[in-house]
Amino acid sequence: MTPDPDTARAQVQEAADVLRDRAGDAARVGIILGTGLGALADEIEVRETVPYEDVPHVPAPTVESHSGRFLAGRLRGVDVLAMQGRFHLYEGYTPWQVTLPVRVFAALGIETLLISNAAGGMNPLYRRGDLMLVTDHIHLQGSNPLTGANVDAWGPRFPDMSEPYDPALRQAAADAALERGVRLREGVYASVLGPNLETRAEYRFLRQAGADVVGMSTTPEVIVARHAGMRVLAVSVVTDECFPDALEPVVLADILAAAAEAEPRLTQILGDVVATLA
């Protein structure tokens, strides 16, 4: 649940003030880098690195593949502010804590949010290492970051979600993939609470519900970003094949290896999208 409006505004302002002092507020593009995908940071001409622990009210990631720092700099000639590592509800954080950095992004004037994540592929056409452009999502995490008193200055009480992923950004990503010869799937992302992976029956249920991949992140951040009026693009890396009739055990090392294999292609596409925003 969101804290009372005065507390919520104060926490966002305090965090934004620290980031502004350390990293400036020139960025209009924010980036959230998911599991095993933090090396896109190597493409950023980093001007300032701010550990999460230095920013008030921002929690610390507990997942080993999430570095836990803000990176301010330029990517393809565009000022960006990136999160190298994100937070999840399964870590024990509240929806407010998970999405607080997105509120801070909005307070700093960021208008476009690019998100990457690792996900299990349920569409039988998908293969490990594929990239999927998220066209829509199914939020099944059992809570919503907009629950509680609405801060009207941040967005409407009942934000529209008919098109959460910006069509122009999606087209830019598709064009970049075509130009580079990268196979880019398009589909629906389902988010669940985790941290366990799904059962065979759950994969069947999610697939029948219309999802192509499943993960444990992203949708809370997207909901808050859209509430704040940001344009959003999200790309999933298919890190394992979740076909109920041929399901095999998965370990984290395999997921990270798949993310690492796909990372150069993801870096190219996100970089090309950012370049269109110059």
Q: What is the pLDDT of residues 245-264, one digit of tens each?
A: 988 888 888 888 888 889 99
pLDDT of residue 266 exceeding 80: yes
pLDDT of residue 213 exceeding 60: yes
Q: What is the dihedral of CA 275, 260, 33, 268, to 10 degrees?
A: 10
Tell which residue, 182, 135, 168, has the closest CA to residue 277.
168
Q: What is the pLDDT of residues 35-56, one digit of tens each?
A: 766 678 888 999 999 999 999 9
For the domain 5-276, what is the CATH superfamily, name and number?
A: Nucleoside phosphorylase domain (3.40.50.1580)
The pLDDT assigned to 26 comes to 94
Q: What does the pLDDT average to over 60-64? A: 69
The pLDDT assigned to 63 comes to 62
pLDDT of residue 209 exceeding 90: yes
pTM: 0.95
Q: What is the dihedral of CA 5, 26, 224, 176, to 10 degrees?
A: 180
The pLDDT assigned to 82 comes to 96
Could you state, in order of their start, the residue ranges of all structural domains in the chain? 5-276
Higher pLDDT among residues 59 and 158, named by residue: 158
pLDDT of residue 196 exceeding 70: yes
Q: What is the pLDDT of residues 147-192, one digit of tens each?
A: 999 999 999 999 999 999 999 999 999 999 999 999 999 999 999 9
Which of 31-40, 62-71, 110-119, 187-196 has the weakest average pLDDT?
62-71
pLDDT of residue 65 exceeding 60: no
Q: What does the pLDDT average to over 227-234? A: 98
